[in-house]
Structure 1
Amino acid sequence: MPVKDLGFRRAAPALAVFAAVRLLGLAVLALWCAAAGSSPHTLLSARWDSLWYARIAAEGYGYEVLLPDGDVHSNLAFFPLLPWLERLVAAPTGLSHGSAGLVVSAVAGLAAAWGIFAVADLLHGRRAGVFAAGVWAALPVGIVQSMAYSESLFTALAAWALYGALRGRWLTAGLLAAGAGLTRPVGAAVVAAVWVAAARAWRSGERSWRMAVGAVLAPLGAAAYVLWVGARTGGGLLGYLDVQGGWGNGFDGGWAFARFVGAKLVSSPAGAAAGTGLIAGVALVLWLYGLCVRQRQPAALLVYCGIVVALALCASGYFGSKPRLLLPAFPLLLPPAVALAGWRTGRAAAVLGALALASAVYGAFWLNGSGPP
């Protein structure tokens, strides 16, 4: 891969576009909440998963909720890096842990946009990198990037780990992959990507102790947490899966999701429209992945993106979270970013602006709904 300067000056346009899109989303959310009588701060930092992360930051692990049907929701389902960072920010600033989570997400969002720009710039040039960061910010579920959730943090670690692997910076890639593994269960996708990149480099003759150490470091974060949960619960290697099972989460190849969509299609005209929209959304994701393959993206990106998509679409659990779970699959955005980079600036900016406005409106509507993202 060619060496390119990744200083602030080169990445500044991408970071500016990302920040502008996110600020638009927050402004529209504030206006919507003012009309609806809700609190944007509460929606972003003190509802749904944000509450679980903040409780871990404040009290540690061990909290659980017993549901009437006998299921147990344990906070062991949530990986520890975001709560650790919330605690780190809250201690010297006096912020609540939820507010500290917003600070972490704001910084991580910029880091993620920079990492996405870096990967796209490396593969397709600076202009494509700017649009990749902009399109990622303008996704329909982009508001999650501004919540006290772990998606921004995970995407930042994943993007920079992949960049490190593509550039042969194996220690950096391994350490960041370990961090991703401490952030979300899908950190396994980053580990696999680093291993694939290292294996291909090994076969091409690039062999060093840094590569070996990076490959060993990559899975340590996820492995350490999963083993700790297993020891704490007495469930051994399957202990974490038992915890996820209490939340109704598991991997069933997409069968539960297919039944959910099928039930929508036959429920009512509105349900049929929603089911059709879900099918169209899945088809769009698969089509974009096909474009990634045709674009001949590096194997590491294809493996990473493929695993993220497979885990998001083929897992059982709360179906409303699937769009959010796809948020880290940023390689899907490289084909449209390259296409936008080939357009005239005015036309491309108008399309991106329209996407950003639609994302802002949808995000405000989504967060003011009844269910979690």
Structure 2
Amino acid sequence: MTETATRAAPPAPSLPRRALPALLGYAGVRGLGLAVLALWSAARGTSAHTLLSARWDSLWYAGVAGAGYGHEIRLPNGDVHSDLAFFPLLPWLERLLHALAPLSYADAGLAVSAVASLAAAGGIFALAERLYGARAGVCAVLLWAVLPVGVVQSMAYSESLFTALAAWSLYAVVSGRWVTAGVLAALAGLTRPVGAAVVAAVWVAAIASFGRTGSADAPCAPAWRRVLGAALAPLGAAAYVLWVGHRTGDGPLGYLDVQAGWRNGFDGGYAFARFVGGMLTAFPSALAGIALIIGVVLLLWLYGAGVRRGQPLPLLVYSGVVLALALCASSYFGSKPRLLLPAFPLLLPPAEALARARPARAALLAGALAAGAAVYGAWWLNGSGPP
């Protein structure tokens, strides 16, 4: 036997190296979006920086970072908008970065979002690559980047931070790292109310794991690790909700009262259906209503495609809860596309299909979608923007 034949095979590239094409592609899409936003805003005499860092919810997060909780606005109709509606992890990170670097709280929020969006892209790649291969991983990241409201990924909002924590928690679940999954789920629960989706995914996967044996690819972890991961998962959300209830004096349901002050609630989609139905009664709003119906049908079809293709149970649970919470909320209908940004498992079926296409055709489609998303994002932020 020759020396060449006995020489050990070179080690496989590390996950960061394998993810590099996806991260570069993601950065390119986001860079294009920001460039178009800057040009559009300059032409309109507005500030792209202000639109990204100091409008809408960004102001509330920066306010919590700077002064802590306690600010509220009483509207003429009696509604009370309290900053207790906003979960604390993003403001905590803004405050930490503000203390470490010469950045305002708003700019610290932009920096956190930029890093978190890359971490989210890495998590989406890692998960899709493990399940469907590296090309599908790159395609999944690009599809997440070119979503029409993808510009939110670059704003001082919590969507990018939440998606990063959710993606890596789900990756930890499918790879059998239960304690890591539980810790990340707890942090996701400190980021947004939809952290419940990550908790549900960890719980269901942990319960299901006791009914199966492991495999060489995903060996079963010791029972105590699975139990510990499931126990850790809800601690973040539970801690914040209980703290809000204690602060308001309304007990465990105090957070629901805070959300009610914003006219947020869960009614099974009744209010949203009435909203869409109202749009269908007149022109041109009927066109937008029809587009919304098509969008909802597409989302449900993508979820069904994941079921048909045997997507892992934790991903189905996660994306199902995200869909339910977004579509069945009773207010802020214009924010639903933004609330659906974390539902990245819905993109895995089209990512698989795109991965099978010829590279030139896939690149052309991704480029066209990126250009469309950049223009739409600039128009949107300079108009109604994300409520």
Asked if the contact 2:143–2:351 (Cα under 8 Å) also holds between the matched residues in 1, the reply is yes
Q: Does 1:241 align with 2:256?
A: yes
Asked if the contact 1:265–1:276 (Cα under 8 Å) also holds between the matched residues in 2, the reply is yes
Distance of 1:265 and 1:274 partners within structure 2: 8
Please report how far the alpha carbon of residue 200 of structure 1 lies from its aligned counterpart in structure 2 after TM superposition.
Answer: 1.7
Please report how far the alpha carbon of residue 371 of structure 1 lies from its aligned counterpart in structure 2 after TM superposition.
Answer: 4.5
Q: Does 1:51 align with 2:59?
A: yes
Please report how far the alpha carbon of residue 212 of structure 1 lies from its aligned counterpart in structure 2 after TM superposition.
Answer: 1.2
Q: Does 1:338 align with 2:346?
A: no
Aligned twin of 2:47: 39
Letter in 1 for 2:181: A
Q: Deviations over 1:245-285 (max 9, x none)?
A: 0000000000110111111111x311111111111111111
Please report how far the alpha carbon of residue 6 of structure 1 lies from its aligned counterpart in structure 2 after TM superposition.
Answer: 4.9
Asked if the contact 1:14–1:133 (Cα under 8 Å) also holds between the matched residues in 2, the reply is yes
Aligned twin of 1:297: 311
Q: Does 1:328 align with 2:354?
A: no
Aligned residues between the structures: 369
Aligned twin of 2:217: none
Distance of 1:371 and 1:40 partners within structure 2: 12
Distance of 1:24 and 1:90 partners within structure 2: 27
Aligned twin of 1:173: 181
Aligned twin of 2:279: 264
Distance of 1:6 and 1:368 partners within structure 2: 41
Larger Rg: 2
Distance of 1:66 and 1:132 partners within structure 2: 42
What is the RMSD computed on CA atoms of the aligned residues?
Answer: 1.0
Give secondary structure in 2 for the equivalent of 1:315.
coil
How do 1:57-96 and structure 2 match up within 5 A?
Answer: 57-96=65-104
Give secondary structure in 2 for the equivalent of 1:283.
helix
Distance of 1:93 and 1:79 partners within structure 2: 23
Aligned twin of 1:364: 378
Give the one of 27, 30, 34 matched to 2:38: 30
Q: Which moved more, 1:157-166 or 1:202-211?
A: 202-211
Give secondary structure in 1 for the equivalent of 2:210.
helix
Q: Deviations over 1:169-216 (max 9, x none)?
A: 011000000000000000000001011111121211444221111111
Aligned twin of 1:139: 147
Asked if the contact 2:279–2:289 (Cα under 8 Å) also holds between the matched residues in 1, the reply is yes
How do 1:75-154 and structure 2 match up within 5 A?
Answer: 75-154=83-162
Letter in 2 for 1:106: A
Distance of 1:351 and 1:164 partners within structure 2: 31
Aligned twin of 2:6: none
Give secondary structure in 2 for the equivalent of 1:316.
coil
Letter in 2 for 1:257: F
Please report how far the alpha carbon of residue 140 of structure 1 lies from its aligned counterpart in structure 2 after TM superposition.
Answer: 0.4
List gaps (5 residues or longer) in structure 1: none
Give the one of 229, 235, 245 matched to 1:230: 245
Q: Does 1:218 align with 2:233?
A: yes
Letter in 2 for 1:216: A
Distance of 1:6 and 1:187 partners within structure 2: 29
Distance of 1:281 and 1:365 partners within structure 2: 20
Distance of 1:203 and 1:228 partners within structure 2: 36
Asked if the contact 1:117–1:132 (Cα under 8 Å) also holds between the matched residues in 2, the reply is yes
Q: Deviations over 1:71-90 (max 9, x none)?
A: 00000000000000001111
Distance of 2:19 and 2:78 partners within structure 1: 50
Give the one of 361, 368, 386 matched to 1:347: 361
Distance of 2:159 and 2:137 partners within structure 1: 20
Distance of 1:200 and 1:20 partners within structure 2: 39
Asked if the contact 1:6–1:118 (Cα under 8 Å) also holds between the matched residues in 2, the reply is no
Judged with a 3 Å threshold, the aligned counterparts in structure 2 of structure 1 residues 163 and 6 are, in CA distance, closer, same or farther, namely farther
Give secondary structure in 1 for the equivalent of 2:280.
helix
Q: Does 1:191 align with 2:199?
A: yes
Give secondary structure in 2 for the equivalent of 1:73.
strand
Asked if the contact 2:53–2:155 (Cα under 8 Å) also holds between the matched residues in 1, the reply is yes
Judged with a 3 Å threshold, the aligned counterparts in structure 2 of structure 1 residues 314 and 342 are, in CA distance, closer, same or farther, namely same
Distance of 2:49 and 2:122 partners within structure 1: 25
Q: Does 1:286 align with 2:300?
A: yes
Aligned twin of 2:29: 21
Give identity over the alignment, percent.
Answer: 70
Give the one of 253, 273, 291 matched to 2:268: 253
Give secondary structure in 1 for the equivalent of 2:284.
helix
Query: What TM-score, normalized by structure 1, do the two folds share?
Result: 0.97
Distance of 1:152 and 1:276 partners within structure 2: 29
Asked if the contact 2:201–2:317 (Cα under 8 Å) also holds between the matched residues in 1, the reply is yes
Judged with a 3 Å threshold, the aligned counterparts in structure 2 of structure 1 residues 6 and 245 are, in CA distance, closer, same or farther, namely farther
List gaps (5 residues or longer) in structure 2: 1-11, 214-219
Please report how far the alpha carbon of residue 5 of structure 1 lies from its aligned counterpart in structure 2 after TM superposition.
Answer: 6.0
Letter in 1 for 2:271: A
